[in-house]
Amino acid sequence: MFNINWLHKTTLLFYVNLHIYKIKMEVDYLIIGSGLAGISFTETCLLHQKIIMVLNDNSQNSTTVAGGLYNPVVLKRFTKIWEAEAQLEISIPFYKKLEEKLNDKFLFEIPLLRKLNSIEEQNNWFTASDKPTLSNYLNSNLETLQNEFLPNNYKFGKVNHTGFLDTKKLKECYTNYLISENSYLEETFDYSKLVVEENYIQYKNIKAKQIVFAEGFGIHSNPYFNNLPLDGTKGELFIIKAENLDLNEIINSSIWILPIGNALYKVGATYNWEDKTTTQTEEGKNELLSNLKELISCEFEIIEHLAGIRPTVKDRRPLLGRHHNNKNLYILNGMGTRGVLFAPYLSDKLYQFIENDIELDNEICINRIYKKLFR
């Protein structure tokens, strides 16, 4: 397990950064950002024996404060998410291999129960679960919860192939791994120091064949890609302690409740399309409290109140591809609320596009945006 204490990590980072900047380096990929997108693309490169360097300044916190839920169904409409089977087929084994590599546990496969608020919703559930495209994900038999602190006068529908990723722990462990490999620099990327040549890029003393920006909401500071329509959606969530709740499933209603062990639960999340700060708000707190008290009747204690900006896009599709003028500049962004399943799957797509000229789907490629910007 890559567990480095704070003092050791700080000292090690200092010497790693000092060592790296004293020498000229040549790498295949310079990767900017180490959230879920950056981690997934970095590991994809390493699986193909590429030489990488990661730069990150921890200015974007969406990965560390994320709920980490994964779920192949849009539960508001009872529809399957885009490329659900392919995402599950690639992403779940990807995280399991990372667990083996880092000798730690990040992925937890837990059933999700969707509260059905009316007879109409129950009927919609039955209709959806009968569809061939959804029968593998939605159980046709409804459930009643035997938990005195949850509503027992409602039925719940069970979703298969769900769970959560401990994103904060994964990021910490993977960062420590990269530090130990002299492949990580903790600094703010200085765009003015980037020199783009015909067949490579130069950043300070680092020469790279390609540079991939996986910056999340930080894209707005990027002069190469800040014309792309990444809006960002603020989300707030709690970590609570509820000794008597004794819940082993993810509950989805107006909010979700996720058991993370030791009587602790994540509770979320709010959606705010106007506020672009990562500051916790009374408005967000009150919304979460109101919805939580409607769902559970036991006592609880708020342990943490967290806030972050999801990298969301207006058309609800990710942003992948090559810069329109510079062939060595790429972007991997816009995964919104689906980052756990999206990140490994889309990292593989982008890697195959760069290395093997396998075209990206129009739905995810930034050319769909460029066609409108430069027509």
Separation between Cα atoms, residue 102 and residue 43, nearest integer Å: 12
- Residue 5: pLDDT band (50, 70, 90) is low
pLDDT digits (tens, 9 = 90+) for 278-324: 999 999 999 999 999 999 999 999 999 999 999 999 888 999 999 99
98 in any annotated domain: no
Q: How confident is the model at residue 62 (pLDDT cuts 50, 70, 90)?
A: confident
- Tell me if 118 is assigned to some domain: no
pTM for the model stands at 0.93
Q: How far is CA 74 from the centre of its chain?
A: 16
Instruction: Write the pLDDT tens digit of every residue in 238-263.
Output: 999 999 999 999 999 999 999 999 99
Radius of gyration of the chain (CA): 21
pLDDT band, very low/low/confident/very high, at 162 (cuts 50, 70, 90) = very high
User: Residue 324 is part of a domain; what is its CATH number?
Assistant: 3.50.50.60
Question: Is residue 322 situated within a structural domain?
Answer: yes
Whether 94 is covered by a domain: the verdict is no
Tell me which residue of 308, 291, 243 sits closest to 63, measured CA to CA.
Answer: 308
Q: Which domain holds residue 202?
A: 6-65+168-228+316-373
The answer to whether residue 358 is domain-embedded is yes
Asked, for residue 362, whether it belongs to a domain, the answer is: yes
Number of domains in the chain: 1
In a domain, 191, yes or no: yes
Distance CA 92, CA 203 (A): 34
Averaged pLDDT of the chain: 92
Q: Is residue 304 part of a domain?
A: no
How many C-beta neighbours within 10 Å does residue 11 have?
12
Question: Binning pLDDT at 50, 70 and 90, where does residue 76 land?
Answer: confident
